[in-house]
A and B are shown apart, each in its own frame.
Chain A
Amino acid sequence: MYNEPLRDPRLLACLQCDLVQRLPDVEPGGSARCPRCDRELWRRRDDSLNRTLALTLAAMLTYVVANSVPMLSLSAVGHHASTTVFGGAMQLWRDNEKIVAMLVMFAAVVAPALQIGMMLIIILAAHKPRPPHWVGTLLRHHPFTRTWSMIEVMLLGVLVALIKIAELATVIPGLALFALGFLVLLFAAIQANFDSRDVWDRVEWANREQPDHVPAAAVRVVS
């Protein structure tokens, strides 16, 4: 049984303090904050879909590079070894830390892939004037991938490992290390440019009874 929507589409409640309020007009690039708890309710982004699409495509290519070439190489007394991102999880698995191996695998490889893949599908589908309902389902679950994708944390971990090992052997940073650094920047840029409200305003409703007055034009005042 679906809930009934309100007549005024600009009414919303802050998700962190539950204060009911009416979303004000926001200048492009400006934002609306909750007057009670100061949470950002909406930041209006210009040309959100095109910019996010370009950044997400770049992230996809960077991700492929970051996961296919060595990240660190080491040479000491005639030995040579190197590891990829995947190699870190594999070694934990071989050393019988299987649960930790799966966690590292998820946070470093699977979640970032989901984050990029879901975003790409969302944006491509959102170019239609009325994106189908499953776009909303993807968009609803996207924050989960963002919470558990930890590329930036991994990068710091790799840096620490690099410095530790540098005392014992010569460590050579690989191409993947730089790709990961770039990927962190791309993720930040995607987050700064993606306007989820723009997609929510147009998406087909789950109850198939989208009110006519809800589309973007009613909410977004072009100034």
Chain B
Amino acid sequence: MNVAGTSAMAHGLHSCEGCGLLSRAPGGAAEGRCPRCGAHVEFRKRDSLQRTIAFLIAAAVCYIPANVLPVMTTTTATGTETDTILQGVVLLWSPTGWPLSLIVLFASIMIPSAKILALVFLVISVRRGSVENNEQRTRLYRIVDLIGRWSMVDVFVAAFTAALVQLQPLMSVGPAPGVFFFSAVVVLTMLAVESFDPRLIWDSSNPRGL
């Protein structure tokens, strides 16, 4: 649907991200304070694309050790064994456990990579001034925002398996270095989502001025 309309920015109005109030800065300044909730307001999130890209690069860098390094160490009388995220998925695969295995595969491996790719796509399309599929791109942003938190699952799996399996000297489970990088990916991608301003998607299509 193409609704012809004007953006608040084109009217010189600030829309508050804290409380939703629309207000005008005295003298048409680029930033101000919301008279209702007191939040700092500006037309668009500050340095949105640069900050998003910075978080994405950091996340992509951490993504490699997160998947290559083991996240869990199991120590038994016979020796020590380590598991990466993917090995954890394979281990869960059994006649009864396969639905859970699929969920973990989805949450831990597919969501983080899909999230990084989707945000890279959004940033590039905004940079290039794309005016196509604005509605779908906004929807993509909302989906990324909604599902991102679920990749924390494996961090909790490692934490609670380690907390419970402490049967020294028979067997004990502990976290391995991969878990740090894995949680870093989750946090960095969440910060990248937070930094991206979806209003930028529409800016190239908005009529300039009034």
Q: Which residues of A contact B (CB under 8 A)?
A: 1-6, 11-21, 35-39, 71-72, 74, 76-77, 79, 81-83, 87-92, 95, 97, 99-101, 103-104, 107-108, 133, 136-137, 139-140, 147, 150, 153-154, 156-161, 163-165, 168-169, 171, 197, 200, 203, 205-207, 209-210
Contacts and interface: CB of A to CB of B under 8 A. Distances in A.
Ordered nearest first, which 10 A-B pairs have the shortest CB separation?
A157-B156, A206-B38, A13-B8, A3-B23, A140-B18, A13-B15, A18-B7, A91-B163, A88-B159, A83-B163
B182 to A, nearest CB: 9
Q: Which of B24, B37, B134, B142 has the most CB of A within 10 A?
A: B37
A100 B120 CA distance: 26
B166 interface: yes
A15 B164 CA distance: 44
Contacts of A99: 180, 183
A153 B156 contact: yes
A46 to B, nearest CB: 21
A37 B8 contact: no
Given A36-B3, A156-B150, 20 more contacts: A3-B14, A6-B23, A12-B20, A16-B138, A17-B198, A18-B9, A74-B165, A76-B167, A76-B170, A92-B158, A92-B162, A136-B19, A136-B36, A154-B152, A165-B164, A168-B165, A169-B165, A200-B37, A203-B37, A206-B36
A20 B170 contact: no
Given A17-B134, A136-B38, A137-B38, A157 B5 contact: no
A6 B179 contact: no
Interface stretch (B50-58, B124-132, B199-207): B199-207
Contact of A95 (B25, B160, B162, B183): B162
Contacts of A19: 3, 5-7, 202
Contacts of B41: 3
Interface string B132-171: 0011001101100000011011111111111111110011
Contacts of B3: 19, 35-36
B104 interface: yes
Contacts, number: 250
Contacts of B203: 18
Interface of B: 1, 3, 5-9, 11, 13-15, 17-26, 32-39, 41, 88, 91-92, 97, 100, 103-104, 107, 134-135, 138-139, 141-142, 149-150, 152-167, 170-171, 174-175, 179-180, 183, 187, 190, 194, 198-199, 201-203, 206
Nearest to B20: A12
13 contacts: A2-B38, A3-B24, A13-B7, A13-B22, A15-B17, A15-B20, A18-B203, A19-B202, A91-B162, A108-B156, A156-B103, A164-B91, A206-B33
A97 B167 contact: no
B157 A205 contact: no
Contacts of A89: 159
B11 A20 contact: yes
A107 B21 CA distance: 30
Q: Which of A16, A154, A158 has the most CB of B within 10 A?
A: A16
B152 A157 contact: yes
Q: Which of A99, A100, A158 has the most CB of B within 10 A?
A: A100
B19 A88 contact: no
A157 B153 contact: yes
Given A3-B25, A13-B15, A165-B165, A156 B135 contact: no
Contacts of A203: 36-37
B36 A104 contact: no
Contacts of B14: 3
Contact of B13 (A6, A37, A209): A6
Contacts of A81: 164-167
Contacts of A159: 100
A36 B1 contact: yes
Given A37-B135, A147-B190, A158-B156, A17 B201 contact: yes
A1 B156 contact: no
